[in-house]
A and B are shown apart, each in its own frame.
Chain A
Amino acid sequence: MAGLKRVLSLFIKEWQELVAGKLWLLLLVLSLSLAAADTVFIPPLASAQAKTAYQAVLPVWLILIIMAICLFLTASTVAEEKAEKKLQALLVTPLSRAEYFCAKLLFVALLGTGCLGLTLLLTGYPADYGRVLLAGLFGTLLFAAVAIAIGIAAPNPPAARTIATMVYLVFALPLLLKSPQSAGEGWRWLFPSNLFFCRLEHTMGSGALNGLLPVRVVPALETIAFILCSYCFIRRRKDI
């Protein structure tokens, strides 16, 4: 119970910092969502062809927004806290590394999923919002776990941003090269973003892989695996 209170305290601090100093980020996300709404909005009388095109674009858009928020925001924030010894100040209190990790994950998961929901709402996309948001939640948790590990490993915030950019580009590769013909190519499964992307497509009813693989279970397992790996990495670091 005390641990949960500490996680919530840190979670509140993250929101306070966001509101006080990173309003630009919220504005950026809002403008991205509005841009998505402008591009992808599906008018009631749109042709079936146009609708299919929109359906192909929107999941890619969503995943790119989530990846940007999770990777860049989290990696640079964690690296900054580590470089400026703020992390040390927190860890000298009863707060444990696991609690710090959970608070960060919780914050980014809510922020990322919230942005995803906002974009969906603004685009008016006809989807099962609950399922899409659940898929989004898994994605944000996965990318946030990777970003926290990047933030801890990087020596300073610029290095963290550089690594995050490289990871972003690598993760975005299967999305950028996607074509209906190559949907089932084996190499794509090397990228964690691909599975999450398929899950998102599936929930939005536009996936070419519907029924091809257990898209409901595997992303959850993959997310858990990434979170555990990231936590183990953080726990073993001695230079915090």
Chain B
Amino acid sequence: METKERVKNILVVSGLCKSFKERKAVDNIFFSLEKGQTMGLLGPNGAGKTTLLQMLAGLSPPTAGSATVFGYDLIREVKEVQARIGVVFEQANLFEELSAYQNLALFCRLYARPLARIQPLLERMGLWERAYEPVKNFSRGLKQRLLILRALIHRPPLLLLDEPCACLDPVSSRIIRNYLLELKNRGVSMLLASHNLEDVESLCDKVCFINRGRLVLLDTPSQLKITHANPMLRVVYRAADGSTKEELAQPTLKNLWRISELYNEGRVLSVHSSEASLNEVFQKVCSNS
């Protein structure tokens, strides 16, 4: 895909704002995304993630601020931007009366791409056997896979995904996650809005927390966990009176010393480390703001 220039940051968001009458859905957001990177957008319901993605897809003009995608201005060169992005919507907005093949064929024609692309894509996602069945007969998981294929039909270098694994069973969720991981390894950049923290943790290089339209935190998942979450140790030991006790302790030097003393006395039954999680960061961010 041709780009305007060899840009390091394929997506640069500078002070984007979106207001609906008095309410600010997105408020002065800044971030950038490098080529091949995946960024997770996290935040509670109504935080402004979908509105931000809609603006970046060129479907909703921003009230203020600007953004460039592959060096193209989002407002003035919206069709250039749209030619370089694939969008997976939150809603399964497929043409339900048509078959999976017809749905993909329509988008192939709209992007002026050969129809020969369809079969390998459907085969890769295990949909080829049902290619000529109306989409209305598909389960949510199959529709979601088809939505991702539709977004990839023109091989875009940047994917915008809005809740790609929402309401899916663990198997479908894993299939989609693995496919997204495969795309990431192939160098496709992604902006992923999700509530599924497992997906975000396994796929994203950077995580951006949004709450009430504002960017609250932006860092790598590991750094966020170090800075904002508390890893814990779950220790089960025999107390002095002979009863079994369980304790949660932070891995501080003092606590580790105490555990080692218990261990030397032969009273420790088990020690499990409870890793810091994005879930903890998420809850902290939401409660703080």
Contacts and interface: CB of A to CB of B under 8 A. Distances in A.
Interface of A: 2, 5-6, 9-10, 12-13, 16-17, 20-22, 84-86, 88-96, 238, 240
B61 interface: yes
Nearest to B99: A20
Interface in B131-177: 134, 150
Contacts of A96: 79
B127 interface: no
Interface residues of B, number: 28
Nearest to A13: B106
A2 B79 CA distance: 14
B98 A84 contact: no
A63 to B, nearest CB: 29
Given A9-B109, A94-B83, A238-B61, A88 B97 contact: no
A9 B98 CA distance: 14
Given A5-B109, A86-B95, A94 B89 contact: no
A240 B110 CA distance: 19
Given A17-B97, A84-B93, A92 B79 contact: no
A122 B93 CA distance: 40
A interface, over-half SS: helix
A5 B106 CA distance: 11
A133 B222 CA distance: 69
A90 B110 contact: yes
B59 interface: yes
A238 B18 CA distance: 13
Contact of B89 (A5, A16, A17, A88): A88
A240 B57 CA distance: 13
B102 interface: yes
7 contacts: A5-B112, A12-B106, A17-B97, A85-B93, A88-B93, A95-B110, A96-B79
Contacts of A88: 54, 57, 59, 89, 93
